[in-house]
Amino acid sequence: MASSPDGTRATEGFFGRRRGRPVGLNQAAILLDGLKRNRLELAAPAPADLRDLFPVQVSSVRLEIGFGGGEHLLHALDAEPGAGFIGVEPFVNGMAKLMMRLDETPRPNLRVYDDDAIRVLEWLPAGSLERIDLFYPDPWPKKKHWKRRFVSRQNLDRFSRVLRHGGVFRFASDIDSYVNWTLLHCRAHPDFEWLAVEAAGWHQPFGNWPGTRYEAKALREGRRPAYLGFRRL
Ligand SMILES: C[S@@+](CC[C@H](N)C(=O)[O-])C[C@H]1O[C@@H](n2cnc3c(N)ncnc32)[C@H](O)[C@@H]1O
């Protein structure tokens, strides 16, 4: 199990790489400054009204888990400036990339966290989110690693607690076994209802969809993504 960067606690849900290519000095400075300004402080309790996390008025709050290079998150921030977003990404290079973009154009409707999203899920007040996005999570295709997949009964319980009634969990993946896995887990969970009307709808991207870097790679390599939505009952 990976340990957290501050060494305080092992993480439960993160098994991936924390670093890729070395981050340059300028980028490191922007990353540190960006985290100082935008990082969630989980040592303090969450505000009772989660919208108070943001310096601007927002109508509701959404969470993106594992935003990678931030392509979808940046698009959503600009497409929906009236909504608040929390982006979580433990991979340093991904967070650094997002912070470079924020340095060019600050977005007051964003807060970030640079470690395991399970910590954020545990910290959030019940019923505080309108949406949770999990796009192209690490697929862990080998059966012996399936237990590492982010979608699990335990994490769906966490999603169920933090989503408001009627809130939505959105999932995308190019790995068929993970798509089936997610469908089965959500179907078995009493609090989630699949939003698809017919199976053909699986391959239809969500509305106003910008794509992601990982998705582009999957398409280049000939894999066909699926897009699933589940309503919190
Ligand atoms: C395959 S990449 C996909 C990135 C992006 N969503 C995309 O579509 O390009 C999966 C991402 O999830 C992140 N991740 C893995 N476990 C996580 C966890 N427990 N909490 C938050 N992010 C996590 C990884 O660091 C990685 O960047």
pLDDT of amino acid 3: 43
Considering only CA atoms, which of 8, 19, 16, 46 is closest in space to residue 150? 16
Which residues does 36 contact at the CB level (< 8 Å), separation at least 6?
none
Q: State the helix-helix crossing angle for 176-188 and 153-162, rounded to 10 degrees.
A: 60
- Atom 24 of ligand 1 has which residue's CA nearest to it? 66
- Ligand 1 pocket at CB < 6 A: 13-14, 16, 65-69, 88-91, 94, 116-118, 135-138, 150, 212-215
Tokens of 150: 């982010």
Ligand 1 mean position, distance from CA 186 (Å): 20
Ligand 1 mean position, distance from CA 91 (Å): 8
Annotated catalytic, 115?
no
Considering only CA atoms, which of 53, 76, 51 is closest in space to residue 170? 76
pTM for the model stands at 0.94
Which residues does 25 contact at the CB level (< 8 Å), separation at least 6?
none
Question: b/e for 74-102, b at 16 or more Cβ within 10 A?
Answer: bebbeebeebbbbbbbbbbbbbbbbbbbb
* 106-135 tens-digit pLDDT: 999 999 999 999 999 999 999 999 999 999
pLDDT of amino acid 199: 61
* Residue of 138, 157, 174, 176 with catalytic role: 138
Predicted confidence pLDDT, tens digits, the chain (233 residues): 344 444 344 578 888 788 888 888 899 999 999 999 999 999 999 999 999 999 999 999 999 999 999 999 999 999 999 999 999 999 999 999 999 999 999 999 999 999 999 999 999 999 999 999 999 999 999 999 999 999 999 999 999 999 999 999 999 999 999 999 999 999 999 999 999 766 667 899 999 999 999 999 999 999 999 999 999 99
